[in-house]
Amino acid sequence: MEERKKRISAFMRERAYKPLKFEELAVVLDVPENERNDLKNLLDEMEAEGLIIKTRKERYGVPERMGLAAGRFQGNEKGFGFVLPDSGGEDIFIPANSINGAMHGDRVIARLTGKTHSGRHQEGEIINVIERVNKTIVGKFDHGEHFGFVTPDHSRLSGDIFIPREFINGAKKGQKVVVEITKWPEKNRNAEGRIIEILGNEGEKGVDVMSIIRAYGIPYEFPEEVLKEARAVPRSVKEEDIKNRRDLRSLRMVTIDGEDARDLDDAVSIEKLPDGTYRLGVHIADVTHYVKEGSALDKEALKRGTSVYFPDRVIPMLPKELSNNICSLNAGTDRLAFSVMMDVDLQGNVKDHDIFESVINVNERMTYTAVYKILEEDDAELKERYKDYIDDFEKMKALALILKEKRRRRGAVDFDFDETKVIVDDDGKTIDIKRYKMTIANNIIEEFMLLCNEVVSEHFYWIGIPFVYRIHEDPDPEKMENLNMILAHFGYRLKGYRDVHPKAIQEVVSQVKGKPEEKAINMIILRSLQKARYSDTHDWHFGLAAEYYSHFTSPIRRYPDLIIHRIMKEQISGKLDEERIEHYKGILHEIAIKSSERERAAQDAERDCIELKKAEFMT
C-alpha cells in the first residue's frame, strides 16, 4: 500500500505530468477494470493524507505542482503562523487573516499567494485542514456572566476556547483544566469545547507538571488490563526460558548508568584478544520475551512509544514490574538478553560480530560518577572497592576513544551541550539546578551503544528483511544557504553548503568550540538540520555520518527497539517466514510514524517541564 502511494506520488511529480481525471489516470497506470475501485480508494486515502489534491474539475495532482503545499501548521502567539511543507523547502508565512480556523500542529493545505512584503518568505492562505491534532487542550479557565473560556497554556495556540455554560462542569476561575474541542474554529469564530478534567489551582502540588503531561497527550496511568498482565509476568528467569540461549553468566560484565536509573537495559563486557583486538560485548534486555505481540502490554507500549522523564517523576513505557524488575539488568540476578559480540581492531573497525539470544548475570551496577572517579580522579576508595574491574574500565576507555576518533574522521557531528539536572523536593518545588557534564564514563556507554546500533542495523539490512531504521536526512539546501549567511556574520564559512557533508558541519562546530558564540551557533546549526526520525525505509544518518543506524539498545523505554527485537528473534529462530515478512511490511510504516510522533511529544514535554522548573527556581 505505502509503496503504491510512493509510486503514484512520484509519477505525479514528474515534469511531464499534467493533472488527470480518474479514468485517464487508471488508463495511464494500466489498472484493470476489476482493480479500479481499489485505485479509487487509494487515491481517496492519499487525498485525505494531503499527498495529492483533487481539483474542482476532478483532476489529480501533487500539491506542489498546483500552487499548493501540504504540511504542518506552526502557530505563533501573535496570531500569524507558518506552514512547514511535507516536501521540505521554504516555510510558508500565513498572515493571521489567512489561517481560516487552523490550529497549531494541524496538517493543512495552503495556497501560495506570493511573497511577503519583505520578499523573504513565500506567503499563503490555508484552504483546507486535513488532520486536526488538538482533540484536547490544557489551559486556564475564566468566565463571564453566561459563558466561560479557556486560555491555552501553549503559546502557539493563540485563540481562547469558548465554553458554553452547560459545559463548564464545575470549573472555577483561575483553575487549570483540560478542554475537549466540540467545534473547531473557523475564519471568524473561536473553537468551542467542554471541560472534561479539572487539574487544580495554579501552585498546587503537581498541577504544573500534570498540565504539561495532559497538554502533550502523554498516557500517565496504565489500564487495569495492562497492570494485570504485568503482575502475571514471572519475577525471575525460569529454567525453561534458558533453553536454546547462549549461557554468558560466567562472563564478567557491568551496567553503567546514572545514580537514580532504575530501568537498566544495557550491560557491557570487554576483553582483549592476543592480537590486540578488543572483544566488546553489548548485552540488551530481552523485553520481547515478556511483551508478546498483540498483548495489552504491547498495545500500551506502542501507544506510549517511549518513557518520559520529568524532574519529579518518570512515566514509563512499561509497568515497573517489567521496567524496574524482570527486564532490568539488575546485578546478581539472571536475566534474559540479546547479546552482540563485536571484535574491534585498533582503528575502530568491526572485524567480526555475532548476534544471539543469551542468559546473563551482571556482576556490578556501576554509576557514571564512580567510573569517572576511578578513571580520571584516581579515587583510592573506589579503586579498592572495584579493583577487579579497573583493567576492564581502562580497556573500555581506550576503545571508546578509538571509536570516537573514528566517528570524528568520518564526519560525525557532536554538539557539546551540557545537560541540566533539576532537583525538586517532595512537593515538586525546584530546590537546585545542576549542570550535568558529559564525562569519559558517559562516552564509554555512548560509543558502545552507537557502535552496537550500527552493527545490528547493517546486519539486518543485508539480510533483506523488514526493519525499523533511525534516519537523519540531508539538510535542506535553502536552510544551509541561510545558515552560511548567518555564519558569515561571525566570520565562519560552511564549505559546500549547497550539497553539505557532515564534515563541513563538524568543522564549524570545532572552530567555535570555546568561543563566546559557541552555544548560540551550535543551536542555530542544530535548528537548521532535519530532525532524526524512525523509518521502515533505509536511509543514512547525516548527523552520525552513519550509513546504517537503528535503535536497538533501549527496548525497556523505546518501542522501535522493542519491535526490531521481535523481528530479530523471529529471524534468529527461523520463524520469520513469508507470511510474517508480509505482516511486518504492513505494520512497520505506521509504527515508525507513530514512534516518531510520540518521541517528539516526549521531548517537547520534557523540555517544557525543565524550562518551567528553571523559571520557578528563579522567581
| Cβ 112 vs Cβ 127: under 8 Å | no
DSSP letters spanning 446-502: HHHHHHHHHHHHHHHHHHT----EEEBPPPPHHHHHHHHHHHHHTT---TTGGG--H
Q: How many residues does the chain have?
A: 619
The C-alpha atoms of residue 461 and residue 445 are separated, in whole angstroms, by 24
Q: Are 559 and 591 in contact (CB under 8 A)?
A: yes
From residue 114, how far is each of 53, 59, 92, 93, 426 by CA, in Å? 20, 24, 10, 10, 55
Report the alpha-carbon distance of residue 619 to residue 617 in Å, rounded: 6
Q: Please give the helix or strand (H or E) that residue 71 lies within, else none.
A: strand 68-75
Percentages (nearest 5) of helix, strand, coil residues in the chain: 40, 25, 35
Sheet holding 254-257, edge to edge: 246-247, 350-361, 334-344, 278-285, 266-272, 254-257, 364-367
Averaged pLDDT, groups of 10, the chain, 619 residues long: 81 88 90 90 88 86 85 91 82 92 92 78 89 93 90 90 95 95 92 96 89 93 98 95 96 96 95 97 98 98 96 94 96 98 98 98 97 96 96 98 96 84 86 87 97 98 97 90 91 87 94 91 92 94 97 98 98 95 94 94 93 84
**For residue 525, what pLDDT is reported?**
93
What are residue 267's DSSP bridge partners?
283
List of residues 6+ apart from 347 with CB closer than 8 A: 402, 406
pLDDT at 584: 95
pLDDT value of position 274: 95
What pLDDT score was predicted for residue 427?
Answer: 83
CB 140 within 8 A of CB 202: yes
For helices 296-304 and 559-573, the axis angle rounded to 10 degrees is 130
Pairing of strands 122-131, 107-115: antiparallel
Q: Kindly write down the DSSP assignment for every residue of 381-396, as one continuous string.
A: HHHHHTGGGHHHHHHH
Backbone dihedral angles phi then psi of residue 173, each to the nearest 5 degrees: -50, 130
Q: Which has the closest alpha carbon to 398: 346, 352, 442? A: 346
- Can you give the pLDDT at residue 461? 97
In order of their start, the domains of the chain are 2-64 (1.10.10), 67-131 (2.40.50.140), 136-202 (2.40.50.700), 224-455 (no CATH), 477-529 (no CATH)
- Please tell me the predicted confidence (pLDDT) of residue 173: 93
CB count within 10 Å of CB 587 equals: 14
Q: Hey, what amino acid is at 89?
A: G
CA distance linking residue 590 with residue 211, whole number of Å: 28
Find the largest Cα–Cα distance for the chain. Answer: 84
Count Cβ atoms below 10 Å from residue 276 Cβ, excluding itself.
8
φ/ψ of residue 28, rounded to 5: -60, -40
Query: Across the strands, what pairs with 133?
Result: none
Contact 440, 372 (CB under 8 A): yes
How far is the C-alpha of 102 from the C-alpha of 127, rounded, in Å? Answer: 9
Q: Which three cell numbers stand for residue 564?
A: 526490531
- In terms of Cα–Cα distance, which of 255, 265, 368 is closest to 316? 265
What per-residue string of b and e applies to 338-357 under the rule 16 or more CB within 10 Å gives b?
bbbbbbbeeebebeebebeb
Alpha helices in 129-203 (DSSP H): none
- What lies within 8 Å, CB to CB, of 214 at 6+ separation is 136, 138, 178, 197, 199
Separation in Å, CA 410 to CA 417, 526, 545: 21, 19, 7
Cα angle 535, 587, 288 (rounded to 5 degrees) comes to: 90
SS3 415: coil
Q: What φ, ψ does residue 114 adopt, rounded to 5°?
A: 135, -155
C-beta of residue 149 within 8 angstroms of C-beta of residue 157: no
pTM for the whole structure: 0.86
Cα dihedral 589, 593, 598, 603 sign: positive
